[in-house]
Amino acid sequence: MPGSTDVGGRASGAHLVRKKRLFFPFFLPAVTLYVVFLVVPTLATVALGFTSWAGAGDTPEFTGFANYVELLSSDAFRYSFLNTLLYIVAGGVGTFLLAFLFTMVLRDMRGGKLIRAILFFPNIVAPVALGMFFSIVLIYRPNRQGLANHLLESVGLDAVKFLQAENVTWVVTGCLIWASSGFYITILMAAVDRIPPYLYEDADIAGATPWQKFRHVTLPLTWDVIGVAGVLWTIGAVKIFELVFVLAGPGTYSPPIRAWTLGVYVFDRSFGTQGTPEYGMACAAAVVMILLVSVLVVLLRRLMRRDTIQF
Amino acid sequence: MSTVDSRVSVAPRKPPRKPKPAPGSRGLSPLRVLGMAFVWLFTAVNLLVLYWLVSAAFKTPIEIFTKPFALPAHWFERGDPFRNFAYAWDNAGFGRAFLVTVVLVAVSSVVIVLVSAPAAYALTRLGARGADGMTNFVAIGMGVPFQTVVIPLFIGMAEVNLTNDLFGMFLVYVALSLPFTVFLLTGFFKSLPDELEEAAALDGASPLRTFRTIMLPLARGGLVTALILNAIGLWNETLLAIVFLNENANFTLARALFAFNSAASYQSEYGGLIAGVAIVVLPMLVLYLLLARRIITGLTLGAGK
């Protein structure tokens, strides 16, 4: 059967058949691993979310939506859900505002490439290492302050208990924005670099301010890239775990529930718990994670959809 | 500042209020100066933080907290400048963890690319029907948080005695890295020219041989990028290592660092703690200094296209 990629000529018919024969040996190893280790476990998680199960030694017992009802009335889950949403929304808004600001300034600035490279580096540092690093920088201890409070006190301000349960979520949001901004600045700047310079020159001639150039040139012409970047952000932020675990807690066991995220919730109810694990509840929370990311991604795509601009 | 109305449309030009600045001399509005100052400040803080990390790894806790910007002195005066590193290395079991991580990361990254490259090739170059759908099916895996697979995966692996086992960890790492790698490599294979492949076919080379001797070498840049990005990702991976490895002898560096964190902060061993962080971070810094461009373009590739 001739395919659409038929390259013409006598050799191609038989060749195409041989090419197609290669498809399964090439594709099968990867897709098998993918299905066994990712697709099946995801489905299993969905199924286990409807059961009550304490893990090894116990048999899962079907309980319908009982886990989800219990999640709704659980303080730990409520904190986890709202904090995760906060990281996605507040962290996202912060990161993208910062990235936009940088695109306004960085476009024709000397040393722009160097700046991008420096800001990108935290993105390839292990979140555990980042968390431990921040936990020392943000220590509150009168007379022996961490770097952040040292700086605050040296300009005459009061030291802040950054890592206290009621502050820590905002503090982690800040750390997250700081650490990820380089990635999004790089993505957006790559798109900005593709915009023909004459558009900016025209705007300059018309006397446009940096904000007007951003609003009427940069933003419309990078819109699609911003949409993809938004999806990447959502996917990344929904699973935030190590940074919170290390910064908000004592290290080996879970932080106070006020600081939890969905990732922490799943871990605490299954592998990290001090008492009896609740695998069923953990799976239900994991399902919420995947629902949350799906809903937000679809919503974002809807919101960002528009006709492509040719330039 | 601006005297034009807020809508600057590009097409119909307005007569300029100001003469166009001479090429090279840009008009510096106060807003722009402010923006540039902010950008430089932000960058300077990043560099300062990196300096703080590296210098603190050689300091005593008192030096870290009372003289955060001073150069390390105490351990140098005592003739034992690497004291913190030695402490972390011995107490966190980093010696063995380092070895485990290097081998595990190297083998996993190579196998990931070996499995992903043919798959990506099959999805882009073999003219199979439904290839786009299958590409999407695999790519969706990038959006699945590990937390949603980790519980059944752990149960399943425990059934076959592959938990707390480095071979089991290797399998998990390879499988869970596939979506990103396949997706990345489809991009590279798509960008290769058709002509060489056709020429090889006309010369009678089998499709397998065309792949091995023509297309794979052509995609070398992509394969190396995939290798490096996976190595970075796995070097830093912690959640799965926490779940699947619970014996010190099997710990990876990130896993060992996680365990070391609470022990060392309990003893106020902040110097050792930061040295531990540095042991995990510095190899990445060296890699980054060598390969920054490749790493940055590789990681941001998916979004730009």
Fold type of domain B93-304: MetI-like fold (1.10.3720)
Domain residues of chain B, as ranges? 31-81, 93-304
The interface pTM score, or ipTM, of the predicted complex is 0.89
CB contact under 8 A, A266 and B270: no
pLDDT at A253: 77
Q: Rounded to an integer, what distance in angstroms lies between the CA atom of residue A47 and that of residue A42?
A: 9
Q: Do A126 and B257 touch (CB under 8 A)?
A: yes
Interface test with A, best of B3, B42, B113, B147 (most A CBs within 10 A): B147
Query: What residues contact A284, with CB distance under 8 A and at least 6 apart?
Result: A49, A50, A67, A68, A71
Cα(B180)–Cα(B228) distance, rounded to whole angstroms? Answer: 13
**pLDDT one-digit tens code per residue, B224-264:** 999 999 999 999 999 999 999 988 899 999 999 998 987 77
**Residue A112: predicted pLDDT:** 85
Residues of B in contact with A31 (CB under 8 A): 119, 134, 138
- Phi and psi dihedrals of A222, rounded to 5? -115, 10
In contact, B189 and B120? CB cutoff 8 Å: yes
Which residue is it, tokens 């000397």? A110
Residue B64 pLDDT: 86
pLDDT tens, A255-269? 999 999 999 999 999
Tell me the per-residue pLDDT of A115-167, one tens digit each, with 9 for 90 and over.
999 999 999 999 999 999 998 889 888 877 888 888 888 888 888 888 888 88
The one-letter code for the residue type at A158 is D
Spatial CB neighbours of B37, under 8 Å, sequence gap ≥ 6: none
Nearest to B145 among A22, A217, A238 (CB): A238
Residue type for A214, please?
A: F
Mean pLDDT of all residues in chain B? 86
Q: Searching chain B, which residue's CA lies closest to the CA of residue A113?
A: B293
Cα(B58)–Cα(B36) distance, integer angstroms:
34
Put simply, the answer to whether B207 touches A15 (Cβ < 8 Å) is yes
Mean pLDDT of chain A: 88
Residue B267 CB-density burial (10 A; 0-12 exposed, 13-18 middle, 19+ buried): exposed
Q: Which of B53, B151, B242 sits opposite A48 (nearest CB)?
A: B151
- Residues A200 and A196: their CA atoms lie apart, in Å, by 8
Which positions in chain A touch B152 (Cβ < 8 Å)? Answer: 40-41, 44-45, 48, 283
- Nearest CA of chain B to the CA of A177: how many Å? 12
Residue segments in chain B with a per-residue pLDDT below the cut of 50: 1-15, 18-25, 304-305
Among residues B134, B299, B144, B190, the alpha carbon closest in space to that of A229 is found at: B299
- Express each pLDDT in B136-162 by its tens digit: 999 999 999 999 999 999 999 999 999
Domains and CATH numbers, chain A: 12-48 (no CATH), 66-304 (1.10.3720.10)
Task: Calculate the CA B203 to chain-centre distance.
Answer: 41
